[in-house]
Amino acid sequence: SKELNLITIICFICLHVKLHPSHLTKKPPSTLLSEKVAQMMEWTSKRSVIRMNGDKFRRFVRAPPRNYSVIIMFTALQPQRQCGVCRQADEEFQALANSWRYSSAFTNKVFFASVDFDEGSDVFQMLNMNSAPTFLHFPSKGKPRKADTYELQVRGFAAEQLARWVADRTDVQIRIIRPPNYAGPLLLGFLLAGIGGLAYLRRNNLEFLFNKNVWAFSALCFVLIMTSGQMWNHIRGPPYAHKNPSTGQISYIHGSSQAQFVAETHIVLLFNAAITMGMVMLCEAASSDLEIGKRKIMCVAGIALMMVFFSWLLSVFRAKYHGYPYSFLMS
């Protein structure tokens, strides 16, 4: 009887080991970590931005152990999503990742990855994310904090701005390296050549250089361009507009007074130009030698331009500065 019980126990133990061998194959954390880092390095050697789906995200970003940080861009690049901003942000993110991958300071402490909505919708649901593009930093220790979410609407998606944010979150300094762009110098060269050619053709009659209307028009164009926010766009690199991937609604006016879209500057430029045109027409109607009927038409048109476009400009101001109490013609 004792021998039978001993044989039964031995058989049970052997059967348990055969059916549940997990304790024999479980890898120590150090081995698992080294394998994860090696796999991330292999992917990075092929592509600076690692493409992740739900399984990769859970295994290499969410699951411990992990001693590296991951900067992830959540995007929607498929054509049916019609996210133009996502494509622009992806180009800047690629420039950032390439600059880090091919720099002399490259280490395995920071990796760059992307999760496309159509390849990892479960990740979007897991993180309660309903807009794209979005940049998140997953630190090597602990959970992401509020500062680990990049303020895209405020700072724009230029690679230089992203590099400053990465340096703030990871202490990794990345110098952005871009391929040479000859469009600017070529355009400037053509412009100077055109001006020189025009001056040569009119070399016997340069009175147009002393025409006050030409200089006044040039000065107005310069002032309108500078006051509409073009320099801010050049420095910050904001998106042209924002499209909500869940609703498909496109926003051309940023809802905050601390940021703007490129389309918003174009709208403001158009409104200011129309108001300026109305003021010029009023001045011409008061001082020109035209017939009285034409001067009345110019006066009415100038007043209409100023009233309508100033009302629209004020409505944009109210949309950005919430709580502003005043409006004109329209709210």
CATH number for the domain harbouring residue 119: 3.40.30.10
Q: Which two tokens stand for residue 202?
A: 């009119």
Q: What is the pLDDT of residue 259?
A: 76
Task: Tell me how many domains the chain contains.
Answer: 2
Per-residue pLDDT of the chain (331 residues), as tens digits, is: 545 555 565 555 555 544 444 444 556 767 888 899 999 999 999 999 999 999 999 999 988 888 999 999 999 988 888 787 888 889 899 999 999 999 988 999 999 999 999 898 899 999 988 888 899 999 988 888 989 999 887 788 889 999 999 999 998 999 988 877 677 788 888 888 987 887 777 777 777 677 777 788 888 888 887 887 877 777 667 778 877 766 777 888 887 777 788 888 888 889 888 988 898 888 888 888 888 888 899 899 999 999 999 898 888 888 888 777 777 777 6
Q: What is the pLDDT of residue 17?
A: 45
Please state, in angstroms and rounded to a whole number, the distance separating the CA atoms of residues 156 and 163: 12
Q: At residue 166, what are phi and psi to the nearest 5 degrees? A: -60, -40
User: Could you tell me the pTM of the whole model?
Assistant: 0.58
* Total residues belonging to the chain: 331
Q: What is the pLDDT of residue 218?
A: 83
The DSSP 8-state label assigned to residue 59 in this structure reads I
One domain, residues 114 and 63: yes
Residue 328 in domain: no
Residue 97 in domain: yes
Which domain does 216 fall in, by range?
211-320
Residue 150 backbone class (left: φ over 0; alpha: ψ -120 to 50; beta: rest):
beta
Q: What is the pLDDT of residue 50?
A: 94
One domain, residues 61 and 166: yes
Beta strand 110-116 with 49-52 is parallel
One domain, residues 142 and 62: yes
Residue 205 in domain: no
Beta strand 250-251 with 242-243 is antiparallel
Residue 10 in domain: no
Residue 119 in domain: yes
Residue 11 in domain: no
Please state, in angstroms and rounded to a whole number, the distance separating the CA atoms of residues 99 and 111: 12
Please state, in angstroms and rounded to a whole number, the distance separating the CA atoms of residues 274 and 304: 10
One domain, residues 43 and 165: yes
Q: What is the pLDDT of residue 23?
A: 45
Decide: 108 and 40 in contact? Cβ < 8 Å: yes
Instruction: For 148-189, list the strands marked E by DSSP.
Output: none
Q: How far apart are the first and last CA of the chain?
A: 95
Decide: 305 and 282 in contact? Cβ < 8 Å: no
Q: CA geometry: angle at 215 spanning 263 and 276, to 5°?
A: 45
Residue 178 in domain: no
Q: Which of 115, 147, 170 is the last residue of a domain?
A: 170
Decide: 110 and 69 in contact? Cβ < 8 Å: yes
Decide: 308 and 329 in contact? Cβ < 8 Å: yes
